[in-house]
Amino acid sequence: MPAFFVDYNLMPFHLSLFAVILLGVVETLGYLFKIRPTKFLKQISPFYFRNLDLLNVKFSKILIVFFLLMNFSVAGYVLQLLIYSQEQEFLPVYYLIIPALIIAIFFTVFMIHCLDQVIPPKYKKHHVNLIGRLATISSGNARPGFSAQARVRDEFGQLHYVQVEPEFGELEFQSQIILIRLRKSHYVAKKISKSNRLFSLDLEHS
């Protein structure tokens, strides 16, 4: 069993685990002494952290690195132990680097997604004013007292799904509408007639 700790074919996974422990210790000390190691890392490797910002998650990007290293280490150990149980020896490490990395990325993305769903946003989103925007009924028909779902883009091109209801008449599936006012949990909408098709096209491209 001591060979487990010194075997060359396990070294990348040992180093990854050591990096996880070191990162945890550094982050804990940084929190206690109010020093942020991530600022230093961002200064020496700005391109890396700038790419991580594209993930747009609600928690520290250093946690993503922590998850990736941890999952890479665990995946490597599991693969090597499974092979050892069958062959009584470890597989050369260069065969397992890519599979372990793929497994690590998969589980890291899964963990990021789960955390991002439960962690409250750091900054509250500003209320988006959709009144006057062109929308399309995307689910069901809407009648007074019965709302339907519609899709609409805001001024920044972000897609929203909202509940809409007409003042009178019916809004059929896939019909184009204008949101005219907000009423508590849904928007009041008006259907665009075919004679106003040019008008609706102008709104859609605005």
pLDDT (tens digit, 9 = 90+) per residue, 11-61? 888 899 898 888 888 777 777 776 665 555 555 554 444 444 444 454 566
* Cα 132 to Cα 37, 127, 152, 192, 198, distances in angstroms: 47, 15, 11, 12, 16
Same domain, yes or no: 102 and 4: yes
The answer as to whether 121 is a domain residue is no
Question: How confident is residue 123, by pLDDT bands cut at 50, 70 and 90?
Answer: very low
Per-residue confidence (pLDDT) for residue 176, from 0 to 100: 92
The answer as to whether 179 is a domain residue is yes
Per-residue confidence (pLDDT) for residue 114, from 0 to 100: 79
The answer as to whether 198 is a domain residue is no
Choice among 14-23, 116-125, 164-173, 177-186 with the minimum mean pLDDT: 116-125
The answer as to whether 62 is a domain residue is yes
Domain boundary among 54, 81, 116: 116
Q: Residue 1: pLDDT above 90?
A: no
φ and ψ at residue 103, rounded to 5 degrees: -60, -40
The answer as to whether 199 is a domain residue is no
Domain with residue 160: its CATH number is: 2.40.50.140
Same domain, yes or no: 60 and 160: no
Per-range mean pLDDT, top range of 102-106, 158-162, 167-171, 194-198: 102-106
Number of domains, the chain: 2
The answer as to whether 194 is a domain residue is no
Same domain, yes or no: 51 and 80: yes
How far apart CA 137 and CA 140 sit, in angstroms, is 7
- Count, residues in the chain: 206
Q: Domain of 62?
A: 1-116
Per-residue confidence (pLDDT) for residue 28, from 0 to 100: 79
Same domain, yes or no: 15 and 107: yes
Q: Using an 8 Å Cβ cutoff, are 20 and 55 in contact?
A: no
The answer as to whether 146 is a domain residue is yes
At 191, the amino acid letter reads: K
Per-residue confidence (pLDDT) for residue 40, from 0 to 100: 58
Same domain, yes or no: 154 and 94: no
Q: Which residues pair with 178 in a beta bridge?
A: 134, 190
Same domain, yes or no: 71 and 95: yes
Per-residue confidence (pLDDT) for residue 38, from 0 to 100: 57
Which residues have CB under 8 Å from 187's CB, separation 6+?
Answer: 130, 131, 135, 150, 162, 163, 164, 165, 179, 180, 181
Same domain, yes or no: 76 and 147: no
Strands 148-153 and 159-166: antiparallel
pLDDT higher at 101 or 193 = 101
Per-residue confidence (pLDDT) for residue 196, from 0 to 100: 55
Per-residue confidence (pLDDT) for residue 4, from 0 to 100: 62
What is the reported pTM?
A: 0.51
Same domain, yes or no: 53 and 79: yes
Which residues have CB under 8 Å from 14's CB, separation 6+?
Answer: 5, 73
The answer as to whether 122 is a domain residue is no
Per-range mean pLDDT, top range of 1-15, 30-44, 155-169: 155-169
- Averaged confidence pLDDT in the chain: 78
Same domain, yes or no: 4 and 92: yes
